[in-house]
Every structure is written in structure tokens, then in C-alpha cells.
Structure 1
């Protein structure tokens, strides 16, 4: 199983505001964490895409390019690229260029996004949410498969015998589908034979098994081999020397973040009891000691019928750079060996 980290490039907010100097430091520290993840042997590091003041990842390919220049082995990916609000031609060109810079270490996870700010920002209609993604994914896969593209659709001008460059080092460039809990998304990924990255940030992980089964059944029906139908798990998590330490470190910032988001979405404030349940044996959070978290990853894998990748999203809880570095060290030196040993 591949083990990695996902980051949303959290900004430093003071009284709900950020300064340019704080943002410079936050980006520098993020790049240091990616470099350290490479050094301790992690398999993959992903950068999300958001268009909000609390995140610095609105241009993730720029961050990935800087990371590619500073690392040697680790695979680098988006987590996720909001394809519904992007031009697939530019997306492919950006990631193909990244693949050349990194000497073949680039992947992308494409999805519709869990926030909606990108739609008005780029002049799109939210009611076209799914139709936009379907059409743009079709074009992206067409570009990946063909150097000369002929294509037409509803939301973009047609391409007639159009050459698209550069071409990536990897053939094909890896493209995963990022999904939440919509059955149609799982079926679409399976039908296309694309690997699946499942974001499970709450609830009980085993409840996603019927959706994963839908994905595999759709893939089998479409004629794809089981080896093509890989399943990855993106989870909120944090590792410390002991479970008590991890819980105490992670809870305050986690509660603050999700209580703030909850005000936008009509969720109640996060309580310590809810947090403890999410961090318990069946809950989605991967928070605890290395031994407990490794055992939980293996339980999640069994519950979902086998996963090939798990990524930790840790920088949503206001943890210090030093604590995040230590967690990366523990994940790279202990979790990976416990899970794969």
C-alpha cells in the first residue's frame, strides 16, 4: 500500500486575516514538509485546490513545480484538481510539463470540488456542476490519449485536428477520479477504468463499501481488469508518539476548522464526544499513535475490499510546522512498515 500526505496549503490567519509575510513562511514550510516526506520515504504528496482565504493552494501546479525541483523520488499529485472549473487543455499542458520537470513523478486526481467558490470565480453556473465535469473529463482523457485532438462539446469551443503539447514522460499520465459519496461518481470512474480516490472525512469508513463495490462492478462490466480498478483513501489524520498526545494536539484546531465550515453548511459545532467517535475504531479520522493508526488503516482496507493508497490530510487543524514534520517522520518511518511489513 502506498502511504502519503495531502495538503491544502493552510494559510496562517490572525483575527481572520493573513499577511503576505505569513503566507511566504507558510509556503516555505509546506515545501520543506514535501521535501522531508521525500527524504523519509513516503510514496506520494498531494496538493489540493481551493479559492478561499484560509488556503494558499489556488494555483496547485505552481506549488507542485517547486516541489518537483526540490525532490527526487516521491510522486506528486493534485488533491484534487477542480476540473469542472478548469480548461482541460491547460490542465493537461500544466501536468504534462510538471511530468517533464519531475522526470515522470506526476499524477492528477480530478474532481468536482467540495467547495463552490470556483464556479462564480470563473464565470460558471453551479447548476451545471455535474455536466461540466462529465464533459471536461471526456476532453481531458481524449487529450491524454491523442496528440491530435478532434472534439466538440457544450461548454467549450471545438477542437479540430488540434495538436496539444507538451506530451508527458509517462504514457499514459496517471489520472485518478476523486469522489465523495455520490454513487454516480463511483460508477463513472469504474466505467472509465480510472483509479479511484475516495475522500472519507466523516462517518464510518465501512459504510462506503457498497459504493466501492459499485465502482468495481461498473469497471468489470466495462471490461477493465481488477488491476486497473485501484482504490485510494484520503482521510483526515495525524500521528504522534501516543494516542493521547495525538488527540490533544489535533482536536482544538480540527474543532475550530469544522465548526467554521459548519456555519456555512448548517452543521452543529464539533464536540469532543463527536471527535472521539470519529477517531475511534470505526470512525474516519486517522488520529493516534503509529500502532493504532496503522491497525486502523488495515481495518479500513479490509472494510473497503482492499485499498492501494492512503493519504493523510493533516494541515487542517492549525498544527505547528514542527509537529507536522514529526508526524511526517512517524508516518514515513513507522506507519509504512507497520502497514506493509
Structure 2
């Protein structure tokens, strides 16, 4: 039986890594991300995506530049965002950046647009967090018009109006694939899921490695945002039935396949980096996800009746 069409990728929030206990500096981490995109392609993955953050320990604040560097180091893998904070970006500039990236990469660019869960970009770029929803809705409407229409006349509350504006360089016909990032229930297909996790040769190695580096990050977030404080029992519950995908290739593959069936997914991205995770563990996750997990997931999904198979991601 042929494999079910299903995309599997990785995404990064540009979190700094360690190498033999030494914390890499920002420039080293930027270069590491480019190497990891090339490794993801060599391992057979479909997509490499980068987030957008403006806090210490993250180097993904200039995502289009990072993705352009990755485009020159790769040939096949699709390159996107996870997510672009549309609310504090200018849709005109965003269009120009990603039409340029799409040209540089030979048509491999894509976008996930979101409102932001980390909100440092609002004061940084002079936006009021009170306008959180209105900013996103207005800018989404403008971006989609720019993506679909040759010339645009437009006015809104948060930027200068446009009159008969034609942007260059032009996106390809129909625009680049664009998803909306949400933090709740899935919308109509195609639906993709992004979750955190680590793949190692054994369940024990993966579980202990991820706990060592994930626990302090979530502890800090709990204090900042009022999340639950991480406990070992809660962690193990997340591994069994929650949103963490941590384990051997077989364990992770079975959990991804189960989720894909339940939510009718067309794509799954694993966020493989967490603050100060050793670069060797990051690389091993990418390799195992592409070479062992992805083929196994497709094998498991290929056994499903056609009526419940996941949909096909946009190309």
C-alpha cells in the first residue's frame, strides 16, 4: 500500500545551544540553525520553520534573513515560519521579504501568521497590547489582499493607506502557502500541528535528556505567565497523553500517527530546540525524525481507511 501523503518537519525558536557544556553565543547559534536546516533536508524532512522572538537566548528576530541563509544551504526542503508575529509586522514589508525569499529559494517559502504568545515585540515596535486582536485582523486582511491582488487600494487604522499599489518583487501566482497559527481546536483542513519534543535512540535517554533542559524553561515560564509549575508526575502525564513528543523513534512515531488520525492532520512539525539543549541532542533528533520516525508514521497512516486519512498540506 502506498504511503499516505503527510508532511513532517521541524521548527526552531532560535534557542541557544550548548556544545560540551559551553553555551554557544548568538552568532554561533545562528550558524548552527543554518547547519540544522541542511541536516533536516539530508535526513528527508519536508519543512524547516523558524519562529520570531525578541528575548534573551533566542536568535530568531530576523526570520526572513535566517530563512534566506538556509535557502542557499539547501535545495529541496520547504522553508517557513512558526510563527510570524503579523500584529507587529508591516504587511507590505512582510510581502516583499517573503516574495524575495521565495525567489531565492526557488519557490520553497511559506508562512504561518499569528498574533503572538510572547509579546515583547509590541512595546519594541511601538504597538499597544490593547490593540492585540484589531492589529492582527486588520493586518491579515491587508496581507491577504496583497498576496492575491495585482494592485491594492486600502486604508485602515494602524498604517498609512495604499492607493493603486503594486508591490515588487511579485509573489508567484496565487501567493506562497500561508497558514494561520492558533492555540486551540483545529479548523477545517488542511491542519498542521506544532509540538515540542526530542527523539533519541531509547525512550529512557530521550525522557531524561528532555526533562533536564525543559524543566527549567517551564519553571521560568510558570513564574512569568502563571502556568503550572512542572513536576515529574505532570511531565510523565504529558509524555503519555499530552503535547510532548519525547522518546525513541517508535514511541514518537506512534504518538504522531495517533494524533494525526484523531485530528485529521496534514502536517506535523516538531519543535526540537529548548534552551541550552546540547547541539548533539538537537542533531540526533533531526536525524531520527527524518530517517526513522517519518517513514514509520507514513507506514502507520497508510493502514488507515481512506475516509479517515489526513489531508494534504498546501504546496
Report the TM-score when normalising by structure 2.
Answer: 0.89
Partners of 1:268 and 1:161 in 2: CA distance = 51
Report the TM-score when normalising by structure 1.
Answer: 0.83
Q: State the match for 1:260 in structure 2.
A: 220
Q: State the match for 2:70 in structure 1.
A: 67
Q: State the match for 1:35 in structure 2.
A: 38
- Give the one of 267, 272, 275 matched to 1:309: 267
Structure 1 residues 256-335: aligned runs within 5 Å: 256-280=216-240, 282-304=241-263, 306-335=264-293
Q: State the match for 1:339 in structure 2.
A: 297
Higher RCO, 1 vs 2 (CA within 8 Å, ≥6 residues apart): 2
- Give the one of 23, 27, 43 matched to 1:24: 27
Q: State the match for 1:11 in structure 2.
A: 16
Matched-pair contact (CA < 8 Å) for 1:12–1:23: no
Q: State the match for 2:310 in structure 1.
A: none
- Aligned-pair CA distance for 1:170: 5.6
Partners of 1:291 and 1:171 in 2: CA distance = 39
Matched-pair contact (CA < 8 Å) for 1:12–1:54: no
Partners of 1:170 and 1:72 in 2: CA distance = 21
May I ask how many residue pairs the two structures share in their alignment?
Answer: 290
Partners of 2:251 and 2:228 in 1: CA distance = 28
Residues 26, 318 of structure 1: alpha-carbon distance in 2 compared, 3 angstrom cutoff: same
- Aligned-pair CA distance for 1:68: 0.5
Q: Secondary structure at the match of 2:181?
A: strand
Matched-pair contact (CA < 8 Å) for 2:57–2:275: no
- Give the one of 113, 118, 123 matched to 1:120: 123
The CA RMSD over aligned residues, in Å, is: 1.4
Q: Which runs of 4+ in 1 moved over 3 A?
A: none
Matched-pair contact (CA < 8 Å) for 1:104–1:170: no
CA shift digits 1:284-303 (9 cap, x unpaired): 10101111111101111122
- Aligned-pair CA distance for 1:168: 2.2
Structure 1 residues 154-303: aligned runs within 5 Å: 154-169=157-172, 171-181=174-184, 211-212=185-186, 215-216=187-188, 229-280=189-240, 282-303=241-262
Matched-pair contact (CA < 8 Å) for 1:37–1:328: yes
